[in-house]
Amino acid sequence: MILHVDMDAFFAAVEQRDNPGLKGMPLVISGHSKRSVVSTASYEARQFGIHSAMPVYQARQKCPNLIILPGSRHKYARDSKQIMEILRRFSPLVEPVSIDEAYVDIRGCEPLFGSPADIARRIKETIYKELTLTCSIGIAPLKFLAKVASDMNKPDGLTVIRRDQMHEFIHRLSIKKVPGVGKKAMELMATLQVSTLGDLKRLDAALLTRKFGSMGHRLIQLANGIDETSVETGHVRKSISSESTLP
């Protein structure tokens, strides 16, 4: 099984942890210029409809009392390093994909740490004990499904998609939930009357490949429960964006 570990509103959560006066307050990490966009929004800010990549001026309109912080690249990188070290205590197969998320391949680790759900709970408990931060974890036989699952019960969630549930889950999974499917692809899918991965099975594979290229081939595989991507321990983690949101 594969775990996808995703920290909850990471930058904002770090600021709220380090400054108790910010707990429960709507805040975003961003710059203050007119061109700045939201890097991370706390869950309190999200209740106003504020989200990542939203221009700050729009966020202010939605929440006049919004707290805007510049963030600390050093602080977030420090905590991220500690989180990745915690994950490696449970498996050597850890793939950091950004500063606040990683895949963990736990195959073969069960004799040491228990069931996949037990391992996920221990990871969550350890991260909270050592950093006072919450994360959401998705568990699934396939890498892409683990990522989908981690987003299902945020914040502080733990979602398991068992192998015997996998094909039914995939059949009903909305195309817009599939990692890598963007807005333009969604619009084209709508013209083909495709809204779920299951819908793809009625279409000709050559048609999908012609219209979507390599993504079309991958979607066909995913619809059939095939994900050939593995957890890559040599993956180079993306650095924090050098946007004006983090001066």
Spatial separation of the C-alpha atoms in residues 179 and 17, rounded to whole Å: 30
Cβ atoms of residues 138 and 150 within 8 Å: yes
**Locate tokens 């599939």: which residue?**
178
Element (H, E) at 2: strand 2-7
Catalytic residue chosen out of the listed positions 101, 130, 168, 187: 101
101 is catalytic: yes
Residue 137: both structure tokens together:
């974890």
| Residue type at position 69 | L
Other C-beta atoms closer than 10 Å to the C-beta of 24 total: 11
Spatial separation of the C-alpha atoms in residues 132 and 149, rounded to whole Å: 23
Element (H, E) at 103: strand 101-105
Whether the link from the prior residue into 92 is cis, omega within 30° of 0, is no
Residue 98: both structure tokens together:
């950004």
Cβ atoms of residues 41 and 15 within 8 Å: no
Element (H, E) at 121: helix 116-131
CA 50 to chain centre: 17
Catalytic residues: 101
